[in-house]
Amino acid sequence: MELARAPFPADGRVYYLPHHGVYKLDSTTTKLRVVFNASSKCPNGLSLNDTLLSGPKLQPDIVAVLLLFRAEPVAITADVKQMFRQIWINPEHRDYQRIVWRFSESDIQGVQKIAHSTLG
């Protein structure tokens, strides 16, 4: 995250991303995770999800993948941990992922821009 210098950029294009914490006390790794709501509508009736370009489908057809698993006697899978946190957002677009955040109860509230992808 990076500190936003002004509440509104010069061109006026900004989106404050609603978020809240989800507690899972029995988790051994992450007791708290932050959930973002990019489908929350602004006063103009649009959400961040409404304005994002969805792009093409990148994953292969699930039937083809399952058939490939039957082709060989051994199959290997993997999962990239926290992959979306590794995708950095262009600095020009970070005003669309702003949040109001404070690091402790005594801090004054500050506006932060999220520098990595929150979607995924």
Predicted local distance difference test score (pLDDT) of residue 119:
66
At 105 the pLDDT is: 75
CA 114 to CA 64: how far, in whole Å? 37
At 35-94, the pLDDT tens digits run 888 899 988 898 988 888 888 888 889 999 899 889 989 988 887 776 777 788 898 888
- Other C-beta atoms within 10 Å of 19: how many? 16
Q: How far apart are CA 98 and CA 53, in angstroms?
A: 19
pLDDT band at 11 (very low <50, low <70, confident <90, very high): confident
| Per-residue confidence (pLDDT) for residue 93, from 0 to 100 | 87
**pTM of the shown model:** 0.65
Sequence spans of domains, the chain = 2-113
